[in-house]
Structure 1
Amino acid sequence: MPTLRGKRYGEVLLVSAGPDGPLATVYNTYPLNDCPPELWSRLDAEALAKEHGAVAALLNGPRYWLMDAIEKDMGDDREIVTFGGLDMYRQAVVTLSSMNPAPYVPNTVARNAVFVFDAGQPIFELVDPDGGHWVMQTWSQIVDPALEYDDLPHLAGRLTLPEGWSYRTRTLAEPLRIDTSSQAAQVLQDGLTNSYSLAR
């Protein structure tokens, strides 16, 4: 099976008002297309929100996967929505900590998936003051459009980490599985909007 690592995608989040704060339904281009720049750059968040009756629309991309595989039961009748010519699958629902979540603040994501990182591959981690390990699941070109995979081992000097946090790179001796198939994932972003999952 070809690896997901390095594959480009984009997301549209349609935000609604939930009982405990904003809820975002997440639509993802992968694997329908690779989020072509000429289409992605023309998306208008305000127009998309109006078109779909959402409180707001958030554009999340372009991004690139860092896991090597995703295990998920997609079902036979998956919802596909087209945003500005980009076909996207409905993938998850996120309980947002706010409409503009701050870096290093976790959000709860119901995605019912297992992220698999292969043995022998590097992973990029944040370690929090309680010893929790947050594994980078995607890197982002939202803040730095020139950020590339080869830059990731050297991010420690670029990130303004909260007190007690650290960033590191390590090579896996055995596969790492982040299993959120039956429980919600905890996901946060760094100051460059790279995203991380808590590895339990």
Structure 2
Amino acid sequence: MTTLRGKRYGEVLLVTVGPDGPQATVYNTYPLNDCPDDLWSRLDADTLARQHDAVAALLNGPRYWLMDAIEKDMGADREIATFGGLDMYRQAVVTLSSMNPAPYVANTVARNAVFVFDAGQPVFELLDPEGGQWVMQTWSQIVDPALGYDDLPHLADRLTLPDGWSYRARTLAEPLRIDTSSQAAQVLQDDLTNSYSLVSG
């Protein structure tokens, strides 16, 4: 199996407002392409929102996967949309905490997937004051275009963590599976827009 770790992608989120507040349908370039910068850099969020009758469009990328595999039943007829020449799969629906979610505030994501982090691989985690463990699932070059994989073990000095939160890097002694195949995932971002999933159970 080809590992996902380090693979580049980008997302377009089309935002609508329903009875429970704003939600976004998420489209992802992986594995259709590697989000080439010449196309990604030309995307315009306002134009995409108008073209797709959305309240807003959010551009989320470029990003890089940190899990080693994703287990997900994609079905035979996956929806593909094209944004500015970039083909993307429809992947998930996110219930947003607000139209402009703040760092370290969780959003609910219906993605029906299992994220697998292999034994012997490093993981990068946030620990919250209630004992919650949040594992980085993707790192981002949105805030810092130069942020790379080798920088991740040392982010504690760069993040503006809320009171009682901490950041750590560790090597897994056994595989870590974040199973949100039958329940919604809880996902948040740090102030560099790296994304983390809550480890339940």
TM-score by length of 1: 1.00
Q: Which residue of 2 aligns with 1:53?
A: 53
Deviations 1:12-63 (A, max 9, x none): 0000011111010000000000000000000000000000000000000000
Q: Which residue of 1 aligns with 2:96?
A: 96
Cα distance in structure 2, aligned partners of 1:149 and 1:4? 13
Deviating beyond 2 angstroms after TM superposition, the runs of 4 or more aligned structure 1 residues are none
Do structure 1's residue 135 and structure 2's residue 139 form an aligned pair? no
Cα distance in structure 1, aligned partners of 2:158 and 2:169? 14
Cα distance in structure 2, aligned partners of 1:11 and 1:180? 20
Residue 103 of structure 1 and its aligned partner are, at CA, apart by 0.2
Q: Which residue of 1 aligns with 2:40?
A: 40
Identity percentage of aligned residues: 88
Cα distance in structure 1, aligned partners of 2:198 and 2:113? 13
Q: Which residue of 1 aligns with 2:144?
A: 144
Deviations 1:147-177 (A, max 9, x none): 0000000000000100000000000000000
Cα distance in structure 2, aligned partners of 1:170 and 1:192? 20
SS at match of 2:167: strand
Q: Which residue of 1 aligns with 2:184?
A: 184
TM-score by length of 2: 0.99
SS at match of 1:49: helix
Amino acid at match of 1:92: A
Do structure 1's residue 167 and structure 2's residue 172 form an aligned pair? no
Cα distance in structure 2, aligned partners of 1:185 and 1:107? 8
Do structure 1's residue 2 and structure 2's residue 2 form an aligned pair? yes
Deviations 1:81-114 (A, max 9, x none): 0000000000000000011100000000000000
Amino acid at match of 1:174: E
Amino acid at match of 1:64: Y
Q: Which residue of 1 aligns with 2:63?
A: 63
Cα distance in structure 1, aligned partners of 2:103 and 2:150? 22
Amino acid at match of 2:138: T
Count of aligned pairs = 200
Cα distance in structure 2, aligned partners of 1:19 and 1:147? 38
Amino acid at match of 1:110: A
Cα distance in structure 2, aligned partners of 1:181 and 1:19? 25
Provide structure 1 residue ranges, at least 5 long, that are not aligned to the other structure.
Answer: none
Amino acid at match of 2:170: R
Provide structure 2 residue ranges, at least 5 long, that are not aligned to the other structure.
Answer: none
Cα distance in structure 2, aligned partners of 1:153 and 1:131? 21
SS at match of 2:38: helix
RMSD of aligned C-alpha atoms?
0.3
Deviations 1:162-200 (A, max 9, x none): 000000000000000000000000000000000000001
SS at match of 1:31: coil
